[in-house]
């Protein structure tokens, strides 16, 4: 399957490719071994997707004007409402809830842009983990290692696997502490987290209404830019590539590099060398105050308080239906007081102002997306091991959520090595400029 959205659009528009064939290929792959026996997709809209593709082909043949990306298959996370279907959020807790009365705002925007939604992807239960494991429906295996069963990263686990395995050209996920970027880094694809207010969240099961973001996972920065435009209410425009020469990047050190494993460290350093040789000005930058984040969020932070508030009624009536590991994380938010919550909000405002000042001299900040490569599923069987690994997976990406900075993860590992992501972070609200910078740097960031 051709994976670049712009190339697919061009071929569909010229008649060199039929949407029916493209969608059929995606559905066949989802039903095949790459779909991992239902662990990647939790819902598949086979008949509806094929019918939509056939209609679009007929309309195009008749010269009926269509949106520029009409006919391209795409997947959405199991966190978004689809009219007539119960939104499960990767859980059994909501099985008894009524079906959604309308599509989520972003599902509607994708449909209006002509994308063919082929199904809903698996995820961590209620999006509350960066590992991507699911005790109810099974954990999708990371497709980048055929010798061991490694985690895909979460919470948008199925989205990362679906794109990495070539099941769909792109998928839409959510990101509250790294849930688009962690699976992108672990699975070797591109994942983008926008400024929180950029994309509407109506019809999405919340984790933290303050920090939740909705973004794409795809094979390239260009594809993410196209989808970011659609999700934000645009027409699916790409961004130009910002010239490499003279760009000023602040390379974050300290808190975000304290636990780098050797594979991540080597890949990241080699990428810095490539960037420097291309004329990118790199300046080491330590923001010591980031080390306060664990203390600020010691009682669960905004996520803990806001997630518990939404789940409190379900924890009273449906507690036994939760994965115990996830349930424990929700219950932890019960101990927070109103004062605790306000103190986190105040600390966030102070830290955002400080980082904005330190960030001002740079076009973007650069850091490893995750400090480790994807561990094996087996190694995380004990919660005493999985809990600290989960926190480490979220450590770097959560910085962008707490500061409400747009951020994008791009693969930077050598071919054949376990995937490693490099993350660019821009200024709040300056999402399209960050995407333009990322597109200009993408060829150098990726190892050739």
Best CA proximity match to 424, nearest among 261, 260, 184:
184
Contact 402, 293 (CB under 8 A): yes
Which residue shows structure tokens 């983990």?
129
Q: Answer yes or no: 155 catalytic.
A: yes
> Cα torsion for 294, 300, 301, 307, to the nearest 10°?
150
Q: What is the separation of C-alpha 122 from the centre of its chain, rounded to a whole number of angstroms?
A: 13
Q: Active site residue: 179, 208, 222, 229, which one?
A: 179
Q: Active site residue: 77, 120, 193, 201, which one?
A: 77
Q: Which residues does 277 contact at the CB level (< 8 Å), separation at least 6?
A: none
Contact 363, 437 (CB under 8 A): yes
Name the E strands within 254-395. Answer: 281-286, 364-368
Q: Active site residue: 9, 91, 155, 157, which one?
A: 155
Q: Answer yes or no: 179 catalytic.
A: yes
Name the E strands within 124-178. Answer: 170-175
Helix-helix angle 46-61:19-31, to 10 degrees: 160
Edge to edge, what strands does the sheet with 213-218 contain?
Answer: 41-44, 116-121, 73-77, 170-175, 213-218, 190-193, 407-411, 421-425, 364-368, 248-253, 281-286
The pair of structure tokens assigned to 169 is 């050209």
Residue numbers annotated as active site: 77, 155, 179
């Amino acid at each position: 399957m051709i994976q670049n959205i712009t190339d697919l659009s061009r071929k569909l528009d010229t008649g060199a490719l039929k949407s029916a064939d493209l969608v059929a290929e995606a559905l066949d792959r989802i039903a095949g071994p790459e779909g991992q026996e239902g662990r990647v997709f939790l819902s598949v809209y086979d008949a509806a997707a094929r019918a939509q593709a056939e209609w679009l082909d007929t309309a195009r043949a008749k010269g009926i004007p269509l949106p520029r990306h009409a006919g391209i298959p795409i997947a959405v996370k199991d966190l978004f409402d689809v009219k007539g279907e119960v939104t499960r959020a990767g859980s059994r807790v909501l099985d008894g809830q009524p079906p959604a009365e309308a599509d989520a705002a972003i599902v509607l925007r994708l449909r209006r842009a002509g994308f063919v939604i082929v199904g809903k992807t698996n995820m961590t239960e209620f999006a509350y983990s960066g590992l991507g494991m699911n005790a109810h429906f099974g954990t999708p295996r990371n497709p980048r290692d055929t010798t061991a069963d490694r985690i895909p990263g979460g919470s948008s686990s199925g989205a990362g696997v679906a794109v990495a395995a070539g099941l769909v050209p792109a998928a839409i996920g959510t990101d509250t502490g790294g849930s688009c970027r962690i699976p992108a880094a672990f699975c070797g694809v591109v994942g983008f987290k926008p400024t929180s207010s950029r994309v509407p969240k109506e019809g999405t099961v919340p984790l933290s209404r303050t920090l939740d973001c909705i973004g794409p996972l795809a094979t390239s920065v260009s594809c993410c830019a196209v989808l970011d435009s659609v999700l934000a209410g645009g027409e699916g425009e790409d961004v130009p590539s910002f010239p490499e020469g003279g760009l000023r990047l602040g390379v974050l050190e300290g808190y975000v590099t304290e636990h780098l494993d050797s594979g991540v460290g080597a890949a990241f350093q080699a990428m810095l060398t490539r960037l420097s040789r291309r004329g990118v000005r790199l300046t080491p930058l330590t923001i010591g105050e980031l080390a306060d984040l664990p203390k600020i969020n010691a009682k669960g932070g905004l996520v803990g308080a806001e997630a518990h508030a939404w789940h409190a009624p379900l924890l009273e009536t449906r507690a036994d239906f939760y994965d115990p590991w996830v349930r424990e994380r929700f219950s932890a938010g019960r101990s927070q007081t109103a004062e605790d919550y306000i103190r986190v909000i105040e600390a966030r405002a102070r830290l955002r102002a400080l980082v904005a000042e330190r960030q001002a001299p740079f076009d973007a900040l650069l850091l490893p997306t995750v400090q480790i490569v994807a561990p094996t599923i087996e190694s995380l069987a004990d919660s005493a091991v999985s809990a600290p690994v989960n926190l480490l997976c979220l450590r770097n990406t959560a910085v962008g959520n707490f500061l409400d900075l747009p951020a994008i993860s791009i693969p930077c590992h050598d071919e054949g090595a376990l995937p490693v992501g490099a993350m660019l972070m821009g200024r709040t609200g300056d999402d399209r400029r960050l995407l333009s910078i990322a597109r200009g740097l993408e060829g150098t960031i990726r190892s050739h």
